Amino acid sequence: MQEPNDQRVLDQTILDIVNLLSTFKSLDFEKENSIQILLQSSLEVNLKYLVILVKADMLGRVCQYQQKYYLKFNYFKSFVSNSIALVNQILLV
């Protein structure tokens, strides 16, 4: 049985992830601050989990901007993969 405190932490985590999903949707990767926003987000949540959430959201949508959303997702996924690889290289040095 979950303690009330555990439930509050879970609720806050869900809110944080939904907020980050909303942030992802508003990103314009052609602007410089997008990378800064993603880096800040990576301090708040595991971006690998956010990739899964964004993919699920993307696959569940049928809209006229689907192709643009798909390209944005691929850029985001590449950013996350490259960031993880960079962190692993730094930790191994």
User: 36-93: per-residue pLDDT in tens?
Assistant: 777 777 777 777 888 888 888 888 878 888 888 888 888 888 888 887 787 777 777 5
Q: What is the 3-state secondary structure (H, E, C) of 37-72?
A: HHHHHHCCCCHHHHHHHHHHHHHCCCCCCHHHHHHH
27 lies in which domain range?
4-92
Tokens of residue 25, six digits: 């949707």
Selected residue with higher pLDDT from 71 and 23: 71
The reported pLDDT for the residue numbered 46 is: 78
Number of domains in the chain: 1
The reported pLDDT for the residue numbered 93 is: 59
Q: What is the DSSP letter of 29?
A: T
The reported pLDDT for the residue numbered 4 is: 66
d(CA 31, CA 15): 26
pLDDT at 23 over 60: yes
- Which amino acid is it at 26? S
pTM greater than 0.95: no
